[in-house]
Amino acid sequence: MLTAYEAMTAELLEACGVDFILVGDSVGTVLLGYPSVTEVTMDEMIHHAKAARRGAKKAWVVGDLPYKGRNKGPRHALESAKRFVEEAGCDAVKVEWGKDTPLITDLLVKHRIPVMGHTGLTPQTAKEQGGLKVQGRDAASAVRIFREARFFEERGVFSVLLECVPVPVAKAITGTLVVPTIGIGAGPHCDGQVLVFQDLAGLFKKFTPRFVKRYVDLEPLVKRAVQGYVRDVKAGRFPEPKHGFSMEKEEEARFHRWASKR
């Protein structure tokens, strides 16, 4: 699983064999310039989810239920989840552990909306967890995460995402659950993995989590390309004749006769 927030990236990821495309609320910090994912609105999520769906024809598209899509209670969360499915064409909705999560999960499953649970580090409530850092390093918090994962499975989710938890905790949860786990900063024993595409591609560098593997560093390549464009335009080297379009001589003459009279 990788994130995509628009059609071009979603189409590319699907062509490369990605099974799940997550339209994450990380769009807020990665693309929209917000300081926190909690600033993302439901309308913004729908806009990006619809775009990703247009690009991905076969891969499962998962809409990430944002804070502002659930902060008014379970019924609000249900309406938001329905928008992901009905308006954006998403196949499923991801729900972070937080306030009202048990009721929200029950409601969504009752209405036959496929749910991916999310426990461990939950960015929407990171301030309450002490910031964006590993969760479950002590036995008590590890037990809590284990129980939250079990709760999700018992309530009928199809998968559980484990974020930033110690490897032994993720391994134990994965070995216990019947539904698959998806890891991000949770080690190699999960059934699947997810990363933010811009992290993988070296396009987002405001911060780089330890769990990110950068497979290519596109930022300097893009910068060189844009700088080359700027130089060529200012020096008159672009566009060249080969980048332009011509007219039939007779039509060009008729046009100039008309223009000269204006």
Q: Are residues 90 and 207 in the same domain?
A: yes
Q: Are residues 97 and 130 in the same domain?
A: yes
pLDDT for 251 beyond 90: yes
Number of domains in the chain: 2
What is the CATH classification number for the domain harbouring 116?
A: 3.20.20.60
Residue-wise pLDDT tens digits, 219-245: 999 999 999 999 999 999 999 999 999
Percentage, residues of the chain above pLDDT 70: 100
Residue-wise pLDDT tens digits, 76-113: 999 999 999 999 999 999 999 998 999 999 999 999 99
The pLDDT mean for the chain works out to 97
Q: Are residues 135 and 62 in the same domain?
A: yes
Residues marked active site are found at 163
Q: Are residues 225 and 212 in the same domain?
A: no
Residue 66 DSSP code: -
What pLDDT score was predicted for residue 262?
83
H-only helix segments in 5-160: 7-15, 27-30, 42-55, 74-86, 101-110, 139-154
Q: Are residues 59 and 187 in the same domain?
A: yes
Q: Are residues 135 and 234 in the same domain?
A: no
Q: Are residues 16 and 80 in the same domain?
A: yes
pLDDT for 73 beyond 90: yes
Q: Are residues 98 and 126 in the same domain?
A: yes
Q: Are residues 229 and 107 in the same domain?
A: no
Q: Are residues 121 and 61 in the same domain?
A: yes
What global pTM score does this model have?
A: 0.94
What pLDDT score was predicted for residue 126?
87
**Boundaries of domain holding 137:** 2-216
Residue 194 Ramachandran class (φ > 0 left, ψ -120 to 50 alpha, else beta): beta
Q: Are residues 99 and 185 in the same domain?
A: yes
Q: Are residues 179 and 226 in the same domain?
A: no
Contact 94, 118 (CB under 8 A): yes
